[in-house]
Amino acid sequence: MSTQLTYKEFLSRVKSGELSLPEYYQGLKSKIETEDKEINSLLSVNNKLDEMAAAAQERYKDGTNRELEGIAVAAKDNIAVEGLPNTCASKLLENFIPPYQATVAQRLSDAGAIFVGKANMDEFAMGSTTETSAFGATKNPVNKDYVPGGSSGGSAAAVAAGFVPAALGTDTGGSVRQPASFCGIVGYKPTYGLLSRWGVTAFGSSLDQVGTLTTNCEDAALLTSKMMGLDEKDSTSSSRVPENIKDFKAIDIKGKKFGVIRETLENEHTDEAVRAAMQKKIEDLKAVGAIVEMTSIEEITYGVSTYYIIAPAEASSNLARYDGVRYGLQVPRVADEDVKDRFTKTRSQGFGDEVKRRIILGNFVLSSGYYDAYYKKAQKARIVLADRFVQEFNKYDYLITPTSPVLPFKLGENFDDPLKLYTADLCTIPVNLAGLPAVSIPAGIDGVSGLPVGMQLIGKRFDDGLLLGAGEFILGETK
Ligand code: GLN
């Protein structure tokens, strides 16, 4: 699908001396400088790239090169990376440079990866278009009149534009998979707990996972194999090592059983173009020997309502720390101001509309009188849905849905219609509620609009390597 080198190919060229790291980074920098003015995928670019590239090249010379020495990667602007701002695309954190680094970033740096910059996103990862960023929308490199998806839209656009071979994003309800689908690349959300969330700005802590945006599944597995593992600083992190993550191979899907979740294909929200691309892809899977059946998870239709109670509830609590006292935006003081005025002013001026909407909703569903009616009920619905997935995985190795039921939106098209955007997360959200791993892979281009369609493959908990292996096989064997 892509002419981009895989990380392994890149590393072998650097090792053989065919590719010079200082020259490679010069090239990346000038490409970003000329092309990103229009796309706006990166909010900051690392100003130490020349030094870091030279140091990495030196390590090849003296034989101290580490496993990922010199690979380029970008991170969404809610994942703390040493020395770079961490704005979450919000005015509230505009000048914030964290004095710490996320565990996932630390582990990649320790393996030799170089962070090129921080990617644009929807403010605090709330949104599906990257238009809620306080620093301007990102454009989709496939067609610049369209959004790249969100909330990790900057990460997806940076990869699709060829600025970096891979980028980290975060996925609370689809924010890695949906932008990957909109930009025609691969987006992988790990099993909840596989990657540490420490140093990643929290949105919905029981749903959030860091994920990867790449052009193939092998790179996703390679990055994950370096980032995963128990982290003392995140009590939800796991020490489990998924099969096929470390010595990654494509997995032949001949004879494997796939269940297509009917409710995600056959409903009033799914575009005809998406349905057609999915049908074609399903035929391709059958042609290479996979067993593909339609199956039903009726409960999936409650996913969006459940998520829009749980995620805002957790967000309202997580975002309470942005009060203008400890860090972030400091609005000018006025005489006779009390602490409440200060909180109110900071939060009114610092947060955008979508974030405010979520905070209000979250406080509402958690308030006494409504807690039982909404929050508790949503928690119960979440358990029912997770159980249904377990039952389906007794019958199938993998489940399939479109990643997004709709094609990418035009810039500005849905900005004022949050409900429409919320509904469009119907295929990705249930996966976060159940804590499962999933990957979005390109499933074709719509003939009329020329816009990409993504297919979502969902796996069993901790089957991440097998999931990516199947994804790699499908990318290679079906066109
Ligand atoms: N679009 C969803 C939302 O706005 C998902 C966001 C995410 O995964 N971070 O909540």
- Residues 279-325 pLDDT 10s: 999 999 999 999 999 999 999 999 999 999 999 999 999 999 998 88
pLDDT of residue 329 exceeding 60, the answer is yes
Q: Is 355 in the pocket of ligand 1 (CB under 6 A)?
A: no
Q: How many angstroms does the Cα of residue 62 sit away from the middle of ligand 1?
A: 45
The strand pairing partners of 188, in sequence order, are: 212, 439
Q: By C-alpha distance, which of 352, 441, 407, 444 is closest to 140?
A: 407
φ and ψ at residue 283, rounded to 5 degrees: -65, -40
Confidence class of residue 3 from pLDDT cuts 50, 70 and 90? low
Residues 6+ apart with CB under 8 A from 146: 139, 140, 182, 408, 409, 410, 411, 451
Average pLDDT over residues 247-260: 98
Average pLDDT over residues 240-266: 97
Best of 77, 123, 151, 421 to mutate for ligand 1, by most ligand atoms within 8 A of CB?
151
Q: Is 151 in the pocket of ligand 1 (CB under 6 A)?
A: yes
Q: Is 126 in the pocket of ligand 1 (CB under 6 A)?
A: yes
- Residues 340-374 pLDDT 10s: 888 999 999 999 999 999 999 999 999 989 999 99
Confidence class of residue 7 from pLDDT cuts 50, 70 and 90? very high
Q: Is 413 exposed, middle or buried (0-12, 13-18, 19+ CB in 10 A)?
A: middle
Q: How far is CA 306 from CA 143, 380, 419, in A?
A: 33, 9, 14
For 245-267, the DSSP string reads: SSS------TT-EEEEEHHHHSS
- Residues 134-162 pLDDT 10s: 999 999 999 999 999 999 999 999 999 99
Domains of the chain as residue ranges with CATH: 1-479 (3.90.1300.10)
Q: What is the C-alpha to C-alpha distance for residues 460 and 358, in angstroms, rounded to an integer?
A: 30
pLDDT of residue 108 exceeding 90, the answer is yes
Report the pLDDT value the prediction gives residue 1, as an integer from 0 to 100.
Answer: 41
Mapped onto helix, strand or coil, the DSSP state of residue 200 is strand
Best of 175, 403, 420 to mutate for ligand 1, by most ligand atoms within 8 A of CB?
175
Q: Is 128 in the pocket of ligand 1 (CB under 6 A)?
A: yes
Q: By C-alpha distance, which of 214, 231, 141, 202 is closest to 358?
A: 202
Q: Whose CA is nearest to atom 5 of ligand 1?
A: 173
Q: Is 174 in the pocket of ligand 1 (CB under 6 A)?
A: yes
The H or E element spanning position 210 is strand 209-214
Q: How many angstroms does the Cα of residue 31 sit away from the middle of ligand 1?
A: 30
Residue 395 known to be catalytic: no
Percent of the chain with pLDDT over 90: 91
- Residues 18-48 pLDDT 10s: 999 999 999 999 999 999 999 999 999 999 9
Report the pLDDT value the prediction gives residue 415, as an integer from 0 to 100.
Answer: 79
Residue 76 known to be catalytic: yes
